[in-house]
């Protein structure tokens, strides 16, 4: 969701900024732009389209200078076009600004500026902010950092901004509230970005700006951070765990396929140091250190969005199964606005790959304000959710570049399953025999995923049959019902085929009316558990209406094989671990259908990797 890059130092800024924008393309965007300060000139170039379009537009123009800011925009206020693209000039064209977020009171601010003679070129809330900064700077005769500070005190909304000014040629001013910003510290140079991907190539020393903080990246006076209330802060330098190789495709045609195939390794990393087979134990520090909060919890509330919500729903199944603690799963966007009942005896878990999802972060802050114990599950070290929660657990899967989440989803499910087992053992609500059995089976999951991935060519061939489809239905029961939801979401996200997931028995309550020869039905039907026979009955109901069945089944299954039109097999495992395995074929099915249809798999239309604004 929009991307910010900034640089000030000795290098040619254009090269750093363009490369940084390309690193941020995975976030989703519809226009791009760059501002460069050189020889008392402030040059802004921007265009609708991709970063490659921006490069073409800037060709032959003055792109010199060792200081600049750049942006990829995902349209909120104003349609995606060149005028609304960032950066935005101030009226004098002496200040340029880029912005992620939404200024909620921009209309009122704009009215005031119009009364002072300002004119506007775009439809954006961002242009209002840069004009306000210029007005404050001139009216109060202050430097750029002070002008930004005073202006932001008038702003209602969310923002991550970077500002440069012809009158302050040695400094970039940045600020954030509700949208992430990271500062990279090099040798007599500074980098600025929405996340670490544009920075890791140059330095592993970073500072994560906190809420309502303003940073001056000053080549002469050094780095200074203060709050918008003018309180000086001492920034803490962190070390990046990311490597540049994690940001490359490594020979794969798309990041999504690479990330699907990384899952044996990423789940091994996720369990490393936690699942200990030699000691027959699972240990999660964030749970053990606060076990009284969990063991005495009246209930657990899981709040998340999209794919993370599906993982949370699986988490509900496993946590209730092994701990007998009631679990509610909430869409963060609804939870934060419906005045939820939250008690001090509640544990609220928030799940987000990026750790920056706006609604989930707001849900976390709401729960915290009500006195609940807050536990975060995220992938990005130093993210806002990681800093907001009382405790948490990183998934440790490395950067996920593909917009459609794959390895982050299976890692979230893995973490939730480990949490359920740890709590069940502490509460004595799971037998030692079952605990040890699942523990050992978890350690085998990466190897079993490898065997599923060997069917990639088979799934690719199968996918060719179904590119004609305009609609899909996905069916699952028990632990695999959320997998049906996730499989349908993957197909929608990247192939633009309408798909819906249902509990298999709910098909009779409406969706069965859609079944026909033209309607593919994906059924998740591994053997074992109390619902297998019920799923078989549901498949028979689909076949009676001439529906086309694609079944995900256990390797030794015979019953469903005889009924299904197409079969994808998975190794047998414990019932609670099947969602990790059954999700893999559905990721591959969605991927190959989208590729055959010619869709942009890594950057599907209208979608952003991290939704950092409402």
Annotated active-site positions, please?
2, 609
- For the chain, give the longest Cα–Cα distance: 80
Whether residue 92 has a cis bond before it, omega within 30° of 0: no
- CA 290 vs. chain centroid, Å, equals 27
Distances (CA, A) of 204 to 81, 161, 524, 547, 554: 35, 22, 43, 54, 45
**Distance (Å, whole) CA 552 – CA 549:** 10
Q: Report phi then psi at 378, rounded to 5.
A: -150, 175
Report yes or no: 147 and 351 within 8 Å, Cβ to Cβ.
no
Q: Which of 151, 144, 122 is nearest to 46 (CA)?
A: 122
Q: What is the DSSP string of 231-251?
A: -EE-PPPEE----GGGGS-TT
- In the three-class reduction of DSSP (H, G, I as helix; E, B as strand; rest coil), residue 327 is classed as strand
What tokens does 585 get? Answer: 């074929």
Strands 346-352 and 373-378: parallel
- 349: phi then psi, degrees, rounded to nearest 5: -100, 130
> Residue 26 phi/psi, 5° resolution?
-60, -20
In angstroms, the CA 550 to CA 480 distance is 15
Strand 31-38: give its sheet, edge to edge. 41-48, 31-38, 67-73, 3-8, 190-193, 182-185, 205-208, 238-239
Q: How far is CA 466 from the centre of its chain?
A: 29
CB-CB contact of 9 with 183 (8 Å): no
Find tokens 């369990």 and name the residue.
271
Tell me which residue of 439, 286, 435, 446 sits closest to 374, measured CA to CA.
Answer: 286
Instruction: Find all residues with CB under 8 Å of 136, minimum gap 6, and list them.
Output: 142, 147, 150, 151
Q: Among the residues of 42-124, which ranges form H helices?
A: 51-58, 106-115
N-term to C-term CA, the chain:
11
For 44, 65, 313, 475, 581, the CA distances from 483, given in Å and listed in that order, are 46, 51, 9, 9, 10
């Amino acid at each position: 969701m929009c991307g910010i890059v900034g640089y000030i130092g000795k290098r040619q800024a254009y090269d750093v900024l363009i490369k940084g924008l390309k690193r941020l393309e995975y976030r989703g965007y519809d226009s791009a732009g760059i501002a460069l300060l050189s020889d008392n000139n402030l040059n802004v170039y921007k265009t609708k389209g991709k970063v490659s379009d921006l490069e073409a537009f800037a060709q032959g123009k003055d792109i010199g200078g060792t200081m600049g800011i750049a942006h990829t925009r995902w349209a909120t206020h104003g349609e995606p076009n060149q005028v609304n693209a960032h950066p935005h000039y101030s009226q004098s064209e002496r200040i340029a600004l880029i912005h992620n977020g939404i200024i909620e009171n921009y209309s009122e601010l704009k009215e005031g500026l119009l009364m002072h003679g300002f004119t506007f070129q775009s439809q954006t809330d961002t242009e209002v902010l840069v004009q306000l900064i210029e007005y404050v700077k001139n009216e109060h005769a202050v430097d750029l950092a002070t002008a930004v500070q005073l202006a932001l005190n008038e702003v209602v909304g969310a923002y991550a901004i970077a500002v440069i000014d012809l009158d302050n040629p040695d400094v970039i001013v940045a600020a954030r509230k509700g949208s992430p910003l990271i500062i990279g510290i090099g040798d007599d140079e500074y980098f600025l970005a929405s996340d670490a991907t544009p920075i890791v190539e140059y330095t592993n020393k970073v500072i994560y700006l906190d809420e309502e903080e303003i940073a001056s990246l000053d080549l002469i006076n050094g780095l200074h951070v203060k709050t918008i209330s003018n309180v000086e802060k001492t920034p803490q330098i962190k070390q990046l765990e990311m490597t540049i190789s994690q940001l490359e495709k490594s020979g794969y045609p798309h990041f999504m396929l690479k990330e699907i195939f990384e899952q044996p390794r990423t789940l091994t990393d996720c369990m490393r140091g936690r699942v200990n087979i030699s000691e027959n134990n699972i240990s999660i520090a964030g749970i053990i250190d606060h076990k009284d909060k969990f063991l005495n919890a009246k209930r657990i509330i899981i709040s998340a969005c999209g794919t993370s919500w599906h993982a949370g729903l699986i988490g509900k199944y496993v946590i209730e199964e092994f701990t007998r603690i009631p679990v509610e799963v909430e869409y963060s966007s609804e939870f934060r606005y419906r005045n939820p009942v939250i008690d001090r005896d509640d544990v609220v878990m928030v799940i987000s790959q990026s750790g920056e999802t706006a609604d989930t972060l707001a849900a976390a802050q709401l729960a915290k304000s009500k006195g609940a114990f807050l536990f975060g599950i995220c992938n990005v070290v130093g993210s806002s959710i990681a800093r907001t929660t009382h405790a948490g657990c990183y998934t440790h899967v490395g950067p996920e570049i593909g917009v459609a989440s794959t390895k982050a989803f299976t890692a979230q499910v893995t973490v939730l399953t480990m949490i359920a087992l740890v709590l069940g053992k502490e509460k004595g609500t799971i037998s030692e025999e079952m605990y040890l059995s699942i523990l050992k089976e978890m350690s085998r999951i990466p190897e079993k995923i490898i065997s599923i991935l060997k069917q990639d060519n088979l799934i690719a061939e199968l996918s060719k049959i179904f590119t004609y489809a305009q609609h899909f239905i996905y069916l699952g029961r028990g632990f695999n019902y959320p997998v049906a939801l996730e499989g349908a979401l993957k197909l929608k996200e990247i192939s633009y085929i309408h798909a819906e997931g249902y509990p298999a028995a709910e098909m009779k309550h409406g969706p069965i009316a859609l079944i026909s020869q033209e309607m593919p039905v994906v059924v998740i039907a591994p053997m074992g558990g109390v619902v297998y026979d019920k799923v078989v009955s549901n498949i028979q109901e689909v076949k009676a209406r001439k529906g086309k069945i694609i079944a995900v089944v256990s390797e030794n299954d015979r019953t469903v094989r005889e009924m299904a039109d197409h079969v994808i097999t998975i190794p047998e495992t414990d019932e609670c671990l099947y969602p990790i395995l059954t999700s893999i074929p559905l990721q591959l099915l969605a991927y190959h259908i989208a590729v055959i249809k010619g869709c942009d798999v890594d950057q599907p239309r209208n979608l952003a990797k991290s939704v950092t604004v409402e």
